[in-house]
Amino acid sequence: MSILTIILNIFLPPVSVALQKGIGKDFIINIILTLLGGLPGMIHAFWVTSKP
């Protein structure tokens, strides 16, 4: 995981997920979680971007 990915996961979780997996179900889930609160979106972004 690069430094850029970590920074994007913290400040812009949906962008990080979109760059890693594209616009799909993970992106939509991350947007919903980010709107519900910043921390759930960040956790999901770290989880999605750390998977191989």
Taking only the tens place, the pLDDT of each residue in 1-32 is 789 999 999 999 999 999 999 999 999 999 99
- Structural domain harbouring 25: 3-50
Looking at the structure of the chain, the number of domains it has is: 1
pLDDT of 15? 96
Query: Does position 51 have pLDDT exceeding 90, yes or no?
Result: no
Distance (Å, whole) CA 27 – CA 45: 9
Return d(Cα 42, Cα 47) in angstroms, integer: 9
User: According to the model, what pLDDT value does residue 52 have?
Assistant: 79
pTM of the model: 0.88
- How far is CA 4 from each of CA 8, 12, 13, 27, 32, rounded to the nearest angstrom? 6, 11, 12, 18, 23
